[in-house]
Amino acid sequence: MELFPCIILISTPCAYLSYTTTTLKQGGLAEAIRVQKTLVSKVMNNSAHFNSDQLYLACQFLKLTENETDFTLLLLEFERCDIAERRSLLKQRIKSIQDRELRPGKVLNSVPSFATTDPNLQRFYLDPIAQLVHAFLIVPRFAADPSLIGLQLGIPPSRLKDSLQLLQDCHFISKGPKSTFKVIEYQTHLASDSQLQPIYQQQARMRSLDKLLKLDPEDKLLFTVLLSIDQSAAEGLRNLILDFLKQARGQTTKSSPEVVYQLTLDFFRWSAK
């Protein structure tokens, strides 16, 4: 698994190596990059710096991927650049990589993204009910008796039947004995660059608002705040949200499917830069 999302939250190679090697013995790193242990200690304390070759060997020692290594070396190049124009270009490259890699779909890189050229998949992502039925079927009691889903969602049997058929056509579920179903594909993350995203998000909002209006206060957690902050604070909040998403995914992976919940996060800019 790539560490890339973790690396690009940190602005300098020294800071990243300090973060990564907290559980490693500095002696092992020193031996790997062919330097004295005292130099490694100084680098970790930000009183000395590795050269590009030493940093490359450090990346190899930490088993970073090629992309992670390239980005770490780019940070070093930026730190050592004294020409203002070139430094600005390097900063733009760093920011471009950060913006690309710090999207939720990238940070949660173990979630598959499905192409939407298949007509059945297109129908699925444009059908909020089918998406809910899929989530419900992950819970064993609903997979054993899908009619319970219709009661929970307040939809007629014909609508439920259509959704079940669509999920089978998408190869997300398979039919078992006595009208039971088995989920084949658990993760159905829509690619962030899909042309269906705007409609998909709009329908998800409408579905959420409709459900929230019907829930009792103790069954929902809502929070909204307007913030007047600088760019640094905004990036810090964005990184915290992404870190939370990674932790949330780990928490849900360890959990048993018993109840269907929805988690929605918004963080966006009202004013122009």
Contact 67, 2 (CB under 8 A): yes
pLDDT in tens, the chain (273 residues): 333 434 433 344 444 444 444 445 566 778 888 888 888 778 777 777 788 888 888 888 888 888 888 888 898 888 889 999 999 999 888 888 877 776 665 555 444 555 667 889 889 999 999 999 999 999 999 999 999 999 999 999 999 999 999 999 999 999 999 889 999 988 887 877 778 888 988 998 898 899 999 999 999 998 899 999 998 898 888 888 888 888 888 888 888 999 999 988 888 889 987
Instruction: Classify 267 as helix, strand or coil.
Output: coil
CB atoms under 10 Å from CB of 24, counted, come to: 13
Q: What are the beta bridge partners of residue 183? A: 173
User: pTM for the full model?
Assistant: 0.63
Distance CA 190, CA 193 (A): 9
Q: Which class is domain 4-101?
A: mainly alpha
Asked if CATH classification 1.10.10 holds for the domain at 113-190, the reply, yes or no, is yes
Cα separations in angstroms, 55 against 13, 76, 151, 235: 8, 8, 60, 26
Distance CA 28, CA 38 (A): 12
Assign residue 178 a region (left: φ > 0; alpha: ψ between -120 and 50; beta: otherwise): left
Which DSSP category does 220 fall into? -
Phi and psi dihedrals of 156, rounded to 5? -70, 160
CA 264 to chain centre: 13
Domain ranges of the chain: 4-101, 113-190
**Could you tell me where the beta strands, DSSP code E, fall in 89-227?**
113-114, 173-175, 181-183, 189-190
Instruction: Classify 183 as helix, strand or coil.
Output: strand
